[in-house]
Chains A and B, each alone.
Chain A
Amino acid sequence: MKDVMISVESISKSFKLPHEKQGSVKNAFVNIFRSKRTFEQQKVLNNVSFDIKEGEFFGIVGRNGSGKSTLLKLLAGIYSPDRGLIKINGKLTPFIELGVGFNPELTGRENVFLNGALLGFSRKDMDAMYDEIVAFAEIEKFMDQKLKNYSSGMQVRLAFSIAIRAKTDILLIDEVLAVGDANFQRKCFKIFRDIKALGKTVVFVTHDMGAVQEYCDRALMIQDGEIVDIGTPREIALRYELANTEDQSGSTKSKKLERPKNPSIQIKDIKIKSGGKASKRFSIKDEIVADVDIEVSKSVAFQINLFFVRSSGVYMAGINSNEHLGLENYKLPVGRHTLRCKVQAGQLVKDEYSVGVGIYTEGYSPDLIDIIDQTYTDDTPQITIIDSSIYQDGDFYLQGEWLETKNTKK
């Protein structure tokens, strides 16, 4: 049994939001005589409890305004809870954002020392670490320039390389991955692995379900100031996706189309697998295997299409059966059948996709027989393509290669 590093016992936090900004002595004076001041009590966190154990990489996920940043600020000791107790067993990074206290009028060098002092490092400590910090941030040339002349990426790099040196038992990280170019992100990921390997406790707040599943041991999902669930990263990621799609479908529910009634061929189920096991997460080398159960009540010629829809709702790509099963007059006898479709996951870029299947009559202007798709139903299979494609951006994985064709030696 490992030690509990952070113990949060039923904390609540609310903010007073004055209706009229009461920022002057006169107003305060007037309000003394008024029987009630007008402000709204906004509950940000309500009765939240959880434990984080030593060496855990703990994710906190939730949408904007769910209270996760407030929770992090409470953990960091920047806010104090209205009710409840937070016990921290060890030293905690005191900051929740990179580059806190950076001053644009100071040079990079001066900022390093100032930032170091905020983390509790003396000048001597910083002297010893200075070269390492600068080298990691890859900005040796700019250290004697004022920070205001840095690009935002350079500032983040500098901040990150100071922050990871903080000698603490517990690290708080808030959405660092949103910044920096792909190359630097890769470096951050490597650092995360290192930190994890060192057995440090990390609290990681993010929207990125891929990163949660990749690095976290456990995760917590928060919504409207209350804990929805604590569990394995996978469970939480699913939960989060579900909550998001629920919300989206909430607004589009009325627009759902109706699936054809009593079709001659009906789609019963779609099972997504990888290497023989049911799976929802795929990385670059995986093969996505989709087993589609259909029930044929009238043997007609048909074609079947399996397709992927991105989280944004954009139809990404589909794979049609007529190339593989025959262009004309492909039929199956009455009864239940399973058709299998195999797709290389690496062709898709990192995102969450919903998988759909459509069955059509043959020919170039087919009629719909049956379909399972986001626009028809909520329970389409969801898959997540993880870190595979952090090296590129765009809409799909462009296959091809780079080579050196000619080497002229001097």
Chain B
Amino acid sequence: MNKLKKVFSKENKVLLGELVRTEFKLRYQGSILGYAWSLLRPLVMFLILYIVFVKFLRLGGDVPHFPIYLLLGIVLWTFFADITSQGLGSVVGRGDLIRKIRIPRWIIVLSTSVSAIINLGLNLLVVLVFMYFNKVDLLETSLWFPLVLIEIYIFGLGLALFLSASFVKYRDISYIWELVLQAGFYVTPILYPLTLITNVDYQKILLINPVAQAIQDGRYALVTHQTLTTTQVFGHAYYRIIPVGICIFVLIGGVLYFRKNAKSFAENL
């Protein structure tokens, strides 16, 4: 209990706030459009994918509001990719601090994840605007949507802790993770509706991935009930215990691994 109090002490909160602020200030340093890039990036990405996959390849024709469905998937995936890839480099990137000052090391990883949350917030605003113009009905299940975000956050943070700590020792991790994210982007039903895969076994395998399960549930909750979720694929809602379990397992593992290695960050950097 006392330890938890220490974790959320005033000093730590102040430091976290200041680190996030700095990161935000520096991110678009020197660019003309500045913060607008936070919105522009996913929008342009969305536009490209929309033109290629929806207009040219005619995917998702039978899914209502497919553009929104696509956009939400991209936004959620970007959230996950941001947390993990920025978290990965955070400890090494702030080596100057770690070698010379005693601050809780996890704050550095946490600060990048908070930046990712802010980014997500901006992107979700864009999604809401599109939903309004696309006349998507407000679903009751929208109330469940935050749970999806929490799940992705937990999974991403756990991975970020693990990745950032191992990146101190093994610099190949960044290249490996880049490839994993690339593969993950296609293995996760982001661009295509899950219904495109007809083999149920494959659908099951894909939905074990917490991000895939979360994205599908998010779409179901916010955009359209015509989304294939874990409930339908596995036959029962309780099967979510598998991806959720993975998330919790990854977070605990990440925290333990990080704690074990944090002591020697200063000398290994």
| A contact residues vs B (CB 8 Å cutoff) | 15, 23-26, 28, 73, 76-80, 94-97, 100-101, 103, 105-106, 110, 113-114, 116-118, 120-123
Contact = CB atoms under 8 A, between A and B. Distances in A.
A101 B25 CA distance: 15
Given A80-B264, A120-B14, 13 more contacts: A25-B170, A78-B100, A78-B102, A95-B102, A100-B101, A105-B26, A106-B26, A117-B15, A118-B97, A120-B10, A120-B11, A121-B14, A123-B14
Nearest to A101: B97
Contacts of A95: 100-102
Given A79-B266, A117-B17, A96 B100 contact: yes
Contact of B172 (A24, A97, A121): A24
B137 interface: no
Interface string B95-107: 0111111110000
A114 B266 contact: no
A261 B27 CA distance: 77
Interface of B: 10-11, 14-15, 17-19, 22, 25-26, 29, 96-103, 169-173, 176, 263-264, 266-267
A110 B267 contact: no
Nearest to A13: B267
Contact of B173 (A25, A26, A94): A25
Main secondary structure of the interface of B (DSSP, over half): helix
A188 to B, nearest CB: 19
A94 B15 CA distance: 13
A26 B263 CA distance: 24
B163 to A, nearest CB: 13
A114 B15 CA distance: 8
Contact of B267 (A79, A103, A105): A79
Given A118-B15, A121-B14, A123-B14, A97 B22 contact: no
B269 to A, nearest CB: 11
Nearest to B264: A80
B170 A28 contact: yes
B26 A117 contact: no
Contacts of A77: 102
Contacts of B18: 113-114, 116-118
